[in-house]
Amino acid sequence: MYPKPLVNRWREYGKHEILVNTNHDEIARLDFMANFFMYLRDDMVPNHKKIYEKKVKKNFRKKHKRYPKNRHEVRKAMLQDNYFKTWSHLRVYAQENTYSERRKIVNRQLGNLIDIAKPRKTDRGKVVIDPDFKSPKYQKHLDMHWMPGSYHSIFNKYEVAGGAMYDCGGLYLSTGNMLGKYNNGAAYAVIKWLKNNYPKFRPEKVLDEGCTVGHNTLPYKDAWPNCEIYGIDIGEPVLRYAHRRAESLGYHINFSQQNAENTNFKESTFDMVVSTMFLHETSHKAIHNIVSEAYRLLRDGGIMIHIEQPPFEMIKDPFDQLMGDWDTHNNNEPFWGPMHDMNLESVALKAGFKKNNIIQTFAPLICPSDEDKYRENPHGKWFVFAGWKK
């Protein structure tokens, strides 16, 4: 089975100076939750389709004289099924429970983490916080995927709680190490896709949008060591955390608090404007603005790349669409469904990209290991939405 059982999973997580300290009981609880997530994913999820095919779909046909047409009809029908409902409750419980554990771990050492995050004279990278910054409504009014306080909430001067909580397990535990122990597989997937398809492309300036704690910001420096890397986000706590994390791992990155819809960079500044798992947490209107802003920021010959899950129109079976839409209804991710319903080609065309330069394709999932940063993970793929400015 892949991945292997998650014994001591948290102890293997990628270390750096600002990562929380954990004691014996906290480690045990984090590892338990990691295993619980894997049980829900690997042992329970495969049964839903069997139940759907054998029972739910047939009952639907009896009643409506046809099969369900779309994910909304499948959802209504599956919500009558106790196994699906139980799994759904357990999945929400798992999410809330890990956050409550992570919050306790962060809170008992928050003062120390804040001290560690403060900029130092020896720092070579930067973090610029805008004292007048206003978070967009679609972020401010929501605890995204039930994360208490989400990415932006400030309770203390030099706040880092959002960053510390996000990095305390996060995707590493809930996906069973699908993206590597530094959670940076998405950036290595971007790099591998570029190197395989456009081997001559060597960016000198890269902007990572919605960078959070920089998991997928740093790898671009590994790929192109002379490249200047910029990371922007709306959340002060995640940016302050990202800055110290990057410095302690030996990367010098320019982080700043900015809205990707409307940045303060001059036009034609970047060779590559990239994001990983970002668009689906923003609104319909924001996505139009973000893609237009990316077009403005790119130099001629530059590329915009967004890494996401595939749009619903690319998923044929309405049942598989439903599973891809679970977060919209249950994980406090209201923009997930609407974003995956959008026609991204028309968004790019509106922003100025030419039809022939717009790309919608797939890239292999990468789970970096110590031996091989570009190790392919056979259990999935990324959807790539990209556009060359030419």
Ligand X SMILES: C[S@@+](CC[C@H](N)C(=O)[O-])C[C@H]1O[C@@H](n2cnc3c(N)ncnc32)[C@H](O)[C@@H]1O
Residue 278 in contact with ligand X, rule: CB under 6 A: yes
Q: Which residue, 68 or 136, has its beta carbon nearer to ligand X?
A: 136
Nearer to ligand X, 19 or 56 (CB): 19
Question: Does residue 238 interact with ligand X by CB under 6 A?
Answer: yes
Give kind and range of the element (H or E) at residue 365. strand 358-366
| Residue 47 C-beta: closest distance to ligand X, Å | 28
Taking CB under 6 A as the binding criterion, the range among 208-216, 220-228, 291-299, 377-385 that sits at the site for ligand X is 208-216
The DSSP call for residue 117 is H
* Sole window of 52-60, 73-81, 85-93, 203-211 interacting with ligand X (rule: CB under 6 A): 203-211
Sole window of 13-21, 58-66, 77-85, 212-220 interacting with ligand X (rule: CB under 6 A): 212-220
> Measured on CA atoms in the order 310, 311, 316, 321, is the torsion positive or negative?
positive
48 or 98: CB nearest ligand X: 98
> Packing angle between helix 82-107 and helix 110-117, nearest 10 degrees?
70
Residue 297 binding ligand X, by CB under 6 A: no
- When binding is defined by CB under 6 A, the residue of 205, 215, 240, 373 that contacts ligand X is 215
* Min CB(309)–ligand X separation in Å: 12
Written as one string, the DSSP assignment of 279-345 is GGGS-HHHHHHHHHHHHHHEEEEEEEEEEEPPPGGG--SHHHHHHHTHHHHHSS-TTHHHHHHS-HH
Sheet holding 376-388, edge to edge: 126-128, 254-257, 228-233, 205-209, 270-276, 298-308, 376-388, 358-366
Nearer to ligand X, 212 or 292 (CB): 212
Q: Which is nearer to ligand X, 33 or 211 (CB)?
A: 211
Angle between helices 284-297 and 344-351 (to 10 degrees): 50
Options 15-23, 196-204, 278-286, 354-362: segment touching ligand X (CB under 6 A): 278-286
Given candidates 18, 78, 186, 322, which one binds ligand X under the rule CB under 6 A? 186
Alpha helices in the chain (DSSP H): 24-38, 45-51, 57-64, 71-78, 82-107, 110-117, 137-140, 161-167, 170-174, 185-197, 219-223, 236-248, 284-297, 318-324, 326-330, 336-341, 344-351
117 binding ligand X? (CB under 6 A): no
Q: How far is the CB of 263 from ligand X (least distance, A)?
A: 8
What residue ranges bind ligand X (CB under 6 A)? 136, 139, 151, 186, 209-212, 215-216, 232-235, 238, 259-261, 276-278, 281-282, 286
